[in-house]
Structure 1
Amino acid sequence: MASARDPVSPPVALAIAGSDAGGGAGIQADLKAMTAHGVFGTSVATATTAQNTRGVRDVHAVPPAHIASQCDAVFDDFDVGAVKTGMLATAETVETVTGLLAAVDAPVVVDPVMVAASGDRLLSPEAEAAYDGLIEAATLVTPNADEAAVLVDGPVETPADAERAGRELVAAGADAALVKGGHIGDGETVTDTLVVESEGGGDGGSDGSGSATALRFENPRVATDATHGSGCALSSAIAARLARGEPLREAVAAAVDGMGPAIRRGYDVGEGPGAVNPTAFDGGA
């Protein structure tokens, strides 16, 4: 006698990002993080990359029309509870994704992949400028310090700088900004700064200081250079929690706290530094 099916119906999230051939970042890390948080992950590939733990060898951007076709297929069949964007590669891709998400009634987490770990800029000036519209549509934007410096056109070298940058991003239209502190200083503590638009808004000045609230999350720095995929995993963990219906601040706090185990228990694979382990998040599903 055949056994009966016992299906589950988890929330659904969508990752719109590049594919990492080495599996440590991009949509591969996104889907691992979403699964770890009890969410069914769908994906739209914006680019394919020939890369491994030692670096990127080649990037091939997916035509915008095919990106749109992938998005249409997902939204036509799934009740998507949250979206995260990662590597978007070109100005045309950024503009395409911004237009596609305009009609989406779900939280959008924007991870602006702009600067490599080496400090090299990954996007053309045109592509960087195209992010203005996507940030305006974001529920949350999650730049590291280098990316925040590009977005606000100013240095982000201290937690105070991070708060200022977060306020500027909220003033630019994002509901909230999480400026990650891993690239700030080299002390024993990592300080991530969340700036959230206050209820009721308000003019608040050019930096949004009068209409936003800042929160800081401090966690011990893990002594490792195996952080490949950390930004992807964090933004996807937040998106997964939003898809589960968690409030933004709680989703961010839990995901940030969970990054410690994800980094400490990172994957020791390949001949390079390795990658974070999105399945090791504390407090996942």
Structure 2
Amino acid sequence: MERFDGKVALVTAGAQGIGEAVARRIAAEGGSVVVTDLQEEKVRGVAESIGERALALRVDVTSREDVDAAMAAAVERFGRLDVLVNNAGGCIVSSVPEDTTAEEWHQQLDLTLVGAARCIQASLPHLVKTQGNVVTISSVNGLAAFGNIEYAAAKAGQIAMTQNFAARYGTLGVRFNVVAPGTIRTPNWDSQPGTLEKFKSFYPLGRVGEPEDIAAAVAFLASSDASWITGLTLPVEGGVLTGPGLFDLTPSGPFYKEYDV
């Protein structure tokens, strides 16, 4: 499929994991991609491996100057901007909620929520021209109580922000949607060996997600296939929101039923 022929996307935090997979998916479907990250060497490697339809930029989403410059560079290089993928963010608060300082709250919100807002503000003049769209990577933590309170609040804020932008700019043809991943196998988990294996049991589909699972959802929402979808939050989460642990589905459990497959 070539759903992004002639289109240009800017992907934040694209040096690895979900962002890298999204950039590669859009490029594979014919699009040009501007891949941004703080990890300058890594993001350059991603862009070089994609080829001439990719541009790498070092961008800090907590800097409006960086974000404005990235949007300008995208349009200068490729002539337009059709898609913004807000992927930058992360869980940066390590203290227990009772001890979280105001500074830590501000740091978390500035990176994950306000950072996404900065990128939207800077991209809007270009997206109005192309009747483009924004896909923001939130999390199931923004939809249910999985802990990491500060991170969850920022992710829930992304969802509310998206709904409001969708209502405000729909008449101008600009769409705003959210993908809410569950646990995804990214390099962020490398320092916690065995954790992803343990998390498998929380998911009815029996595995954690892969970056490509999220990239597929983003590519759909960002494409013309989703031209009548806006303000949506699409959970891509292997069934974890159905209530992990509520039912005993082991072969000896009361809710188990054998099926011939």
TM range (shorter): 0.3 to 0.5
**Structure with larger RCO (C-alpha < 8 A, sep 6+):** 1
Task: State the TM-score, normalized to the length of structure 2.
Answer: 0.45
Task: State the TM-score, normalized to the length of structure 1.
Answer: 0.42
Higher strand share: 1
